[in-house]
Amino acid sequence: MVEAKSHISEVLSPKTGAGVKSLRQIKKSLNETKTFLHSNSDHDWTTIFYQYTNRLAHLYLLGALNEVPAYLVFVYFVNDKDMNGPKSVDEWIGALSLLKSYLGVTRHRLDKYVAEIFIDVKDI
């Protein structure tokens, strides 16, 4: 799975818009993922950063539960002037550190299946 972002505000995804029945299933899946990853966060994973937690849940579902070889690659673009994106990798790392700290996943059991790639658009 690949997820690409050009600006930091993209990681601040809104909460899920699921209905009551679907929301119940989503919360169950995210809480199971949270437990598997040993997250120490008290925050509801269906709210802020939902897109990120959803991707982790899919990785958990594929790899851990169903033994399907799966990887999650996050591509972060630097110097994307059209999107007013970060001008350095350090800006991305700061934002991602905050996200991971908030979610309680600074280190977790699926780390070896998650990659973060930083691409400077000036180089392409």
Rounded to two decimals, what is the model's pTM?
0.93
The CA-CA-CA angle for residues 83, 86, 91, to 5°, reads 155
pLDDT value, residue 124: 86
pLDDT value, residue 25: 96
Residues in Cβ contact with 68 at an 8 Å cutoff, skipping those fewer than 6 apart: 62
Domain range list for the chain: 2-123
Kindly give the confidence (pLDDT) of every residue in the chain, 124 residues in length, as a single tens digit, with 9 standing for 90 and above.
999 999 999 998 888 889 999 999 999 999 999 999 999 999 999 999 999 999 999 999 999 999 999 999 999 999 999 999 999 999 999 999 999 999 999 999 999 999 999 999 999 8
pLDDT value, residue 32: 98
pLDDT value, residue 14: 81
